[in-house]
Structure 1
Amino acid sequence: MGVPLIVFFFIIGITSVLLAWKKKAELLPPTLQTSVEDGSWILPAQMIQIGEGEMRKMGRDPEVDRIDIRPDKGVAKVTFKTHFTEVQLDGLSGEVLSIETRHSDWIEKVHDGSIVDFYLGGDEATKLTYSTLTAMGLILMSLSGFYLWYYPKLIRKIKGR
Structure 2
Amino acid sequence: MKKLNSRQQQAKILRNFRKVHRITGATLFIFFFIIAITGFLLGWKNNSNGLILPKNQQGSSVELNKWLPIDSLHKNACAILHDSISPNLSLKLNRIDIRKNKGLVKFVFENHYWEVQLDGATGELLNLGKRHSDFIENLHDGSFLDTFFNNSTKPIKVIYTSIMGLALLLFTITGFWLWYGPKRLKKHRKRKS
Q: Give the distance between the partners of 1:154 and 1:118, measured in 2 at CA.
A: 48
Q: Which has the higher helix share?
A: 2
**Native 8 Å contact 2:114 2:129 kept in 1:** yes
The alignment yields a C-alpha RMSD, in angstroms, of 1.5
Unaligned 5+ segments in structure 2 are 1-23
2:138 equivalent among 82, 85, 109? 109
TM-score between both structures, scaled by the size of structure 2? 0.78
What is the aligned partner in structure 1 of residue 174 from structure 2?
A: 144
Question: What is the identity, as a one-letter code, of the residue corresponding to 1:157?
Answer: K
TM-score by length of 1: 0.93
Which one of the candidate residues 34, 49, 61 is aligned to 1:36? 61
Partner of 2:20: none
- Counterpart of 2:37? 14
**Separation in 2, partners of 1:34, 1:155:** 66
User: 5+ unaligned residues in a row in structure 1: which ranges?
Assistant: none
Q: How many residues align?
A: 161
Shift in Å, 1:17: 0.7
Q: Which amino acid aligns with 2:31?
A: F
- d(CA) in 1 for partners of 2:112 and 2:174? 41
Which amino acid in the other structure matches residue 69 of structure 1?
I
- Picking from 155, 169, 179, the partner of 1:125 is 155
Q: CA offset at residue 56 of structure 1?
A: 3.1
Answer whether contact 1:51 1:62 (CA < 8 A) is retained.
no
Equivalent residue number for residue 61 of structure 1: 90
CA distance in 1, matches of 2:71, 2:120: 12
* Runs of 4 or more above 6 Å deviation: none
If you compute each CA radius of gyration, which structure gives the higher value, 1 or 2? 2
* Larger RCO: 1 or 2 (CA < 8 Å, sep 6+): 2
Tell me which of 123, 130, 151 is aligned to 1:94. 123
